[in-house]
Amino acid sequence: MTKIAVLVSGGGTNLQALIDAQKKGIIKSGEIALVVSNNPNAYALERAKKAGIATAVIPGKEYKDQSEFEAKLVETLETAEIELIVLAGFMRILSENFTSRYTRRIINVHPSLIPSFCGKGFYGLHVHEAALAYGVKVTGATVHFVNEIPDGGEIILQKSVQIRKGDTPEVLQRRVMEQAEWKILPRAVELVSKEMKKKKEGK
């Protein structure tokens, strides 16, 4: 089994999708062993506890710089023997120093069809506001490997979602989560976990 850590900052709806997918057997080559948050008040931590998953809190404010924060994060992940890291609404950019340590072992879900509406400043509702302002007819979500460029890593899976007349950013955000993010994130986690498991077993 590939040991997975999910990094979260807020409500944890994508985390819940992963927990549910694990229960249903969609994720079978890996298991969520740890949920880490930089926000002690993140509801995602409650979701993890309800599912019996270990949690760790690393409040960004307690560390004087990014390297100290990341050193603590690395220590936490290594102690739990984590192999795959999933960013699920983790509102903190990770440095090249961190990402290069985990090449092809960090994945992220982004609420647009990369390369549209991605990169620095495009997160949360901003992405959906931009899509609606631009007038695109189709948006969606992308799961990709994480490197030092925000939203710049290799794409693993994408799923499109239709934009409807009268959509608000909030309505669109919900549809993208339900129709795309919650479907492709578990599938991508299984794909990558399976690949890692094979390598470990020397297949």
Annotated catalytic residue within 110, 126, 128, 144: 110
Could you tell me the CA-to-CA distances from 97 to 50, 60, 72, 82, 85 in Å, in that order? 33, 17, 13, 18, 15
Active site residue 144: no
Phi, then psi, of 37 in degrees rounded to 5: -130, 145
Outline where 32-102 has alpha helix (H).
43-50, 66-79, 96-99
The three-class DSSP label of residue 91 is coil
Closest CA to 139 of 187, 171, 107: 171
Which helix H or strand E contains 140, and what residues bound it?
strand 138-145
Q: Which residues have a catalytic role annotated? A: 110
